Amino acid sequence: MKRNSAYIKGAFIAIALCFGLLAGFGQNNAHAFSNQVIQVGATGEDVVELQSRLQYLGFYTGNIDGVFGWRTYWALRNFQYEFGLPIDGLAGGTTKNKLANASKYDKAWVNKQIDNGKKFSYYGGEKKSTKSGAAKGGTAKSGTPKAGTAKGTKGAGQSKAKPAQVKPAKNIPNGYSQNDVNLMANAVYGEARGEPYIGQVAVAAVIINRVNSASFPNTVSGVIFEPGAFTAVADGQIYLTPNQQAKKAVMDALNGWDPTGEAEYYFNPDTATSGWIWSRPQIKKIGKHIFCN
């Protein structure tokens, strides 16, 4: 019996060791990154990993938000410089391998923090002390295979009161915020939800043309809520929940697509009540709407 139990113990230890090793490998190499090249502007899982690993090594000090922004870009270039790689700001094969070997990444933990919408940082052991959350983050020693080495957690409550959970960030065209996009999507959906896609882009483009025009208010909200400007605002249809297509149309318009040829007005010839609108110089008809200057 005794021998037997010792044998079992031994087996357990062996298995445990195997798992430990596997886990170690898992964090370092096997699951590191997909094989894509990551460049500025990218979003997604790989960017989260890139940011976490760069932060682990102390290069990246921003939020791990899953968007390859400028701070990530400079962090990556610093990393490439210090590790003697060609400095191109692209996370390609060699860069990713070097990065994966030099750092540890606890995917589950990082993703959990993101899902919980907590503010967190992910610094490697030696950097930990200089950075936030040392007190709360526990005293995990560097070198223990159970990754998570010194993850400084800053409880959500400690930082400023937040209006809502902070989810992974999003790219938004320059000069606009997500809330502008939502507001415009509401207007587009209310005004043109029965129109073909191009007609929705066109309505969004008219809103932008008006914002840029001298004879209209200079903000998105000023243009949309100008009394009498849009029927959807007057009859409350703007408060319907927009669908994805309306949002896509708004994004296209914000990125510069303008199917209207710089129109500032449009009307539906079947329902237009104002005689004046007919006197505007007409550019073209898209779907049911006539667009004019």
Partner 1 sequence: MIRTILIVLLFVAVAGTGYWGYSEHQEKNAVLLQAENNYQRAFHDLNFHMDSLHDKIGETIAMNTRNQLSPALAQVWRLTSEAHNDVGQLPLALLPFNKTEEFLTKMGEFSYRAAVRDLDKNPLSDKEYSTLKELYANSTEIQNELRKTESLAQKNNLRWMDVEMALATNKQPEDNTIIDGFKTVDKSVEGYSDVDFGTEVSNMEKMKDRDLSQLKGKKITKEEAKKIAVDFFQLKKNVKITVESTGKDAKYDAYSLTLYNPDTKGTTYMDLTKKGGYPLYVLYDRNVGKPKISLNEAMLQAEDFLKKHMESQMEMVTSDQYDNIGVFTYARLANGVRIYPETVSVKVALDNGDIMGYEGTDFLLAHVDKRTPIFKISEKEARTNLNPKFQVKETSKALIRNDINEEVYCYEFLGILGNDTFRVFINAENGNEEEVRKLKEAEPSYNDI
**Touching partner 1, residues 142-201 (CB under 8 A):** 163-174, 177-178, 181-182, 196-198, 201
Q: Which residue lies nearer to partner 1 by CB, 140 or 272?
A: 272
Rounded Cα–Cα distance for residues 276 and 244 (Å): 34
Q: Which 8-state DSSP code applies to residue 120?
A: B
Q: Where are the alpha helices (DSSP H) in 171-262?
A: 178-192, 197-212, 220-224, 231-234, 244-254
Among 67, 147, 203, 208, indicate the residue that binds partner 1 (CB under 8 A). Answer: 67
Site track 94-133 with partner 1 (rule: CB under 8 A), x = hit: ----------------------------------------
Stretch that binds partner 1, among 3-11, 31-39, 127-135, 139-147 (CB under 8 A): 31-39
Rounded Cα–Cα distance for residues 246 and 205 (Å): 12
Among 96, 104, 247, 289, indicate the residue that binds partner 1 (CB under 8 A). Answer: 247
Q: How far is the CB of 28 from partner 1 (least distance, A)?
A: 22
Q: Three-class SS of residue 91?
A: strand
Q: What's the maximum distance between 2 C-alpha atoms anywhere in the chain?
A: 102
Q: Which residue lies nearer to partner 1 by CB, 143 or 194?
A: 194
Among 39, 111, 237, 268, indicate the residue that binds partner 1 (CB under 8 A). Answer: 39
* CA-based R_g, the chain, Å: 27
Which residues, numbered 201-240, are part of the site for partner 1 (CB under 8 A)? 201, 214-218, 222, 226-229, 234
| CA neighbours closer than 13 Å in the CB half-sphere of residue 140 | 21
Q: Is 55 left (phi over 0), alpha (psi -120 to 50) or beta?
A: alpha
Q: Which residue lies nearer to partner 1 by CB, 53 or 247?
A: 247
Q: Among 236, 220, 232, 143, which residue's Cα sits nearest to residue 195?
A: 232
Q: Which residue lies nearer to partner 1 by CB, 97 or 218?
A: 218
Any contact of residue 139 with partner 1 (CB under 8 A)?
no
Q: How far is the CB of 207 from partner 1 (least distance, A)?
A: 13
Among 141, 236, 256, 270, indicate the residue that binds partner 1 (CB under 8 A). Answer: 256
Any contact of residue 71 with partner 1 (CB under 8 A)?
yes
Crossing angle, helix 178-192 and helix 197-212, to 10 degrees?
120
Crossing angle, helix 70-82 and helix 93-102, to 10 degrees?
80
Any contact of residue 269 with partner 1 (CB under 8 A)?
no
Rounded Cα–Cα distance for residues 217 and 220 (Å): 8
Any contact of residue 273 with partner 1 (CB under 8 A)?
yes
**Element holding 5 (H helix, E strand):** helix 2-25
Site track 8-27 with partner 1 (rule: CB under 8 A), x = hit: --------------------
End-to-end CA distance of the chain: 94
Among 24, 26, 28, 74, indicate the residue that binds partner 1 (CB under 8 A). Answer: 74
Any contact of residue 287 with partner 1 (CB under 8 A)?
no
